[in-house]
Amino acid sequence: MWDTVAFMLKPFLACLVIPGIHAYLGIHVISREEIFVDIALAQLAALGATVAFLFGHDLQGAMASLYALGFSFVGAAVFSVTRSREGRVPQEAVIGIVYAISAAAAILVIDRAPQGAEHIKSMLVGSILTVSWPEILSAAGLYLVLGGFHWAFRRPFLQISFSPGEAQARGLHIRLWDFLFYASFGVVVTVSVRMAGVLLVFSYLVVWAGR
């Protein structure tokens, strides 16, 4: 019995750490009607880390993480530029295009990177049952920092998500705040998906916020 408790303790604590910031970000995602943006950003992050692996960097090293964050920041920049109240192309369509392109690029990279397919699978599927203490603690610290950032600037973040027209009328730089939102969201998703997988992260984002 105690062996089972010890084995399940880390996954249980991870399930307590993940929901808080994801439920908050999910409110923004639903308000923006961008349900699948997390999957697109996760795919971009996986592509970035796989490119780092192709260049000879350790998958668990700092360079792979920087590549993953860099690719997710590129996605954040694209989404912040294309998001518009009166845009002809729906933002969800743009998200789908970004996902399709990054997935296709990942296939090309996998062909040249040994064990690249296994890496992308591990990043997108995750395994919360095998999560480690360093992963839990680093994720908790990161969530606290980004949560504090969103709390400090909660007014502009809430305005651009719920009332973009009013925010623009008040002189807010919509694209700048959109980029900051998508970039911070991309960091959270990159860490969470690697730890718990896309399906669980998607559930925490959408199901909780949609209740």
| CB 146, CB 184: distance < 8 Å | yes
Q: What is the distance between the alpha carbons of residues 164 and 160, in angstroms, rounded to a whole number?
A: 4
Q: Which sequence spans correspond to the domains of the chain? A: 2-209
| pLDDT, position 153 | 96
Which residues are within 8 A (CB) of 150 and not within 5 positions of it... i.e. 6 or more apart? 21, 24, 157, 184
Which residues are within 8 A (CB) of 78 and not within 5 positions of it... i.e. 6 or more apart? 94, 98
| pLDDT, position 142 | 95
Does domain 2-209 sit in CATH 3.30.2270.10? no
| pLDDT, position 178 | 95
Q: Cα 123–127–129 angle (5° rounding)?
A: 160
Longest dimension (CA), the chain: 61
131: left (phi over 0), alpha (psi -120 to 50) or beta: beta
Instruction: Give per-10-residue mean pLDDT for the chain (211 aa).
Output: 78 89 91 89 87 82 87 94 76 92 87 68 73 91 96 94 86 91 93 82 76 58
The tokens for 49 are 């880390």
| pLDDT, position 171 | 83
Crossing angle of helices 19-32 and 2-17, in 10° steps, is: 40
**Torsion from C-alpha of 186, 209, 88, 180, nearest 10 degrees:** -30
